[in-house]
Homo-oligomer: A and B are copies of this chain.
Amino acid sequence: MAEAVHRLIAHDGLDAATMAAVAREAGFSVGLVQHYFKSKDELLLFAYQRITASLLERVATITARGEAAGQPIRDILLTGLKELLPLDAARRGEHRVSRAFQARAMDVPAAAAVAEATAAMITGKIAQGVENGKECGEVEPGTDAALGAVELTALTDGLADRLYREPDRSVAGRSGAEAAEAILADRLAALFPGECRHYA
């Protein structure tokens, strides 16, 4: 059902996610949807939680793979952040859903809590990466991890918005996607100027 919600929002916006539409899309009756969710709010909140959870999980898998391969933290973070950009149809849909819920979060406290928790999760992971970078030598000791993490998440968020809005607008010769990646890579390089001692 949550997937039906996802599909509907990704395709026609939040307003298209009506009870009847969700039931139809999922192949169930309206009554069944009601059987599992007391109210529409509950359904939407559940769907939101599921979607963000699956996003976070996907990123976690990717970063875990990077760690296992012994990549520099800088590269792992870049891959993880790039995953958050709407670079293909699936992620464009995801971005649309995510933004729809973030807008909704401005009116619905429960949704705001999910949004906040998700954001905290991401910045937390990044800050952890920076701290780890200090220990292994990729990051200068004096670097403020929390501040850097906030900057990176904000930057990624903003780039994602722009990429969604104008996927084909090129910047300085580069495609939009390339420009976004270049900007992220540049900032990460600035934040992680060193090499990890373990592979020196």
Contact = CB atoms under 8 A, between A and B. Distances in A.
A30 interface: no
Nearest to A190: B190
A112 B13 CA distance: 13
B150 A154 contact: no
A144 interface: yes
A110 B13 CA distance: 15
Interface in A79-132: 96, 99-100, 102-103, 105-107, 112, 115-116, 119
Interface residues of A, number: 41
Contacts of A102: 99, 103, 161
A3 interface: no
Contacts of A57: none
Nearest to A101: B103
Given A153-B158, A157-B157, A99 B107 contact: no
A175 to B, nearest CB: 12
Interface of A: 12-15, 96, 99-100, 102-103, 105-107, 112, 115-116, 119, 144, 146-147, 150-151, 153-159, 161-162, 164-166, 171-172, 174, 179, 182-183, 187, 190
